Amino acid sequence: MRKILSIFVMTVCVCNFALAHTDFGERPKLVVGIVVDQMRWDYLSRYYDQFGEDGFKRLLKKGYSCDNCLINYLPTVTAIGHTSVYTGSTPALHGICGNDFFIGDSAVYCCGDQTVEPVGTDNRKKGCMSPRNLLSTTIGDQLRLHTDFQSKVVGVSYKDRAAILPAGRSADHAYWLDTDNGQFITSTYYRTELPDWAKAYNKELKRNKELQKVGKRVGYYPLCGHITTDMAIAALKGEQLGKGKVTDMLCVSYSQTDVIGHEWSPRGEHIDEAYLELDKDIAKLLKALDRQVGEGNYLVFLTADHGGAHNYQFMIDHKMNGGAWKVREDVLDDNLSRYLKEKFGADLSIINGLNSYRIFLNHGKIKALGLELDEVKAALVAYARKLPHVQFVMDFEKVNTWSVPDVLRSRALLGYHPQRSGDLLLVLEAGWYEFWQSSSPVGTTHGSWNPYDAHIPLLFYGWKVEHGSTSREVHITDIAPTVTQMLHIQQPNACVGEAIGEIVK
C-alpha cells in the first residue's frame, strides 16, 4: 500500500512539473499596450451606457479591471506616465522627469536628439527624436532581449513621446504625426527610410479631405484617434505582427483626448464626443487584431498616463474649492525678483524655470555668484510657503525628513532624479492648478498627486485573462511586471512595481 501511495505521489509531482513546464513556455503571439492620454478612471462608468458593445465594453465584460490603479510619483505628466507604464519604474530611476526638464542647467525635451535626422519629413523640430534620454529598459526591450531580438516592437501615436518612450530603446519602429505635413514620420534612430506600408498609409492621408480641412489642429478632433488607429492597423499588417514564431509588441497611444481635455476640460460635448469616438477606435483595433492574430492569441492592456482636473471655474460655479494658480503673477513676478535682489543681490536668472510644480535652480549661476545652494533653496521655500493656495513646499533632497504627509513624501521621492528633477516641489490645495498665459480658461491640466490626476483606468484583456475586477490598490508601475511575468521574461531593469496577482495566477 505504501509503495502504491509513493508511486501515486511521484506521478502527481511529475504531472504537475510537466504542466508547470508547459505553461512556462506558453506566450501570446502579440502584446498590445494602449495608453489613453489624460483618461480619468471615472470615464469608464460615466460613458458606460453610451459605449458600444465592441470597444470599452468588450474589455470590461470579458477582461479584468483594476479599479483602484494609482500613479505613485510626482508629477503626473505625459512623458513620465508613458515611460512608467512600460518600464514599471518612476522618474527617480528611468530618468524621464517630464515632457521638458533640465539636465544640469541645460534644458532638454524628453525625446529631443540632434544626433539623428528626420525620416518622412524635412522638419528637424518634429523629426529629430529618439529615446536616448531613457535610462531603463521597457517591456518591449525585455521581450527583444529574451528572443535574441527576433520580436518586433512598434510604437504609434500622434505625439512623438507617446510613440517613442513606450516602445523603448531597442524598438524596431516608432511613428508619430508631423502636423505640418499631415504625415507619420520617424527618425534615423530607427531607420533611414519609411517602410512601404507606412508610405502607402501616408498617401491615404494626403487624400483625406477631413484631415486637409482641420490641418495642424487635428489633435483637437476625434479624427486624430481615427488616423492613429488606422496607422496602428497598417503597422500590424505591414510588419505581420503576431505572425512569427516569437511574441511581438504593438504600443498605441491616443493623444487627442489630452489635447481636447486641455482645451475644453473633462466636461461638455467635446470630451463626450472624444470618448464615444475613441470607443469606436478601440472596437476597430480589436476587430483588426481578431483578424490578424486571432481572438485569444493576443494580450491587451489599456491604461492612461495621467488623468485631469475639473476646470477651476466649473468647480467655483458649483461651490467647490478650486482655482487658477497663475504662475507668472503668483510665482515668477516682480515681488520674487525684489526678494532675490534684497536677499542675495541676485535676479530671476538663478532660476532656470518652473515646470510641473517644480522649481529648477541654475546651479552654475548660483555658484558663480558665490552663493550657497542650501541658503538659496531655504529662502525660496520660505517665499513659496507664503504664496496663496500653496499647501506644501519641499526641498527634494531633504523631503525624507520634512513634516509632510507620507503620501506626498513617497511620491516626491519616487519622482526625484538628482540631476533631472529640479530642486523644489510645490503642492497646491486640491482643485488648484498651474495656469499659464497660454492656458485655456475653459480647459484643464494635470500634474498633481490628487485622485483626479492620479487615478487611472487599468484593463487587461485576451490571452490567459479571466473576467473580473478588483478594488485593491495597484500602481502604474505594476503594469510592466505583470505583463513580463505573464510572458515569462525578466522585468525591465529599473522596475520597482509588483506583478498583479489577480492577473498572474
Q: Identify the H or E element spanning 171.
A: none
Q: How far apart are CA 328 and CA 326, in angstroms?
A: 6
Q: How far apart are CA 238 and CA 233, in angstroms?
A: 8
Q: How far apart are CA 205 and CA 224, in angstroms?
A: 11
Q: Identify the H or E element spanning 388.
A: none
Q: Which residues contact 139 (CB under 8 A, 6 or more apart)?
A: 31, 33, 86, 168, 249, 480, 483, 484, 492
Catalytic residue status for 76:
no
Show the cell assigned to 221.
Answer: 478632433
Q: How far apart are CA 28 and CA 83, in angstroms?
A: 23
Contact call for residues 129 and 116 (beta carbons, < 8 A): yes
* Residues 114-134 as b or e (16 or more Cβ within 10 Å = b): eebebbbbeeeebbbbbbebb
**Unique residue bearing C-alpha cell 504625426:** 177
DSSP strand E in 97-215: where?
Answer: 100-103, 106-109, 118-119, 153-157, 173-178, 183-187
Catalytic residue, chosen from 76, 78, 186, 445, is: 78
**Unique residue bearing C-alpha cell 479584468:** 64
Q: How far apart are CA 81 and CA 87, in angstroms?
A: 10
Task: Give the three-class secondary structure for 392.
Answer: strand
Contact call for residues 128 and 116 (beta carbons, < 8 A): yes
Residues in the chain: 505
Q: How far apart are CA 331 and CA 363, in angstroms?
A: 19
Closest CA to 36 of 295, 186, 261, 223: 261
From residue 326, how far is each of 91, 117, 358, 389, 447 by CA, in Å? 26, 38, 14, 11, 15
Q: How far apart are CA 379 and CA 14, in angstroms?
A: 69
Four-CA torsion 242, 283, 217, 117, nearest 10 degrees: 0
**Unique residue bearing C-alpha cell 500653496:** 390
Show the cell assigned to 194.
Answer: 519609411
Contact call for residues 98 and 110 (beta carbons, < 8 A): yes
Q: Which residues are catalytic?
A: 78
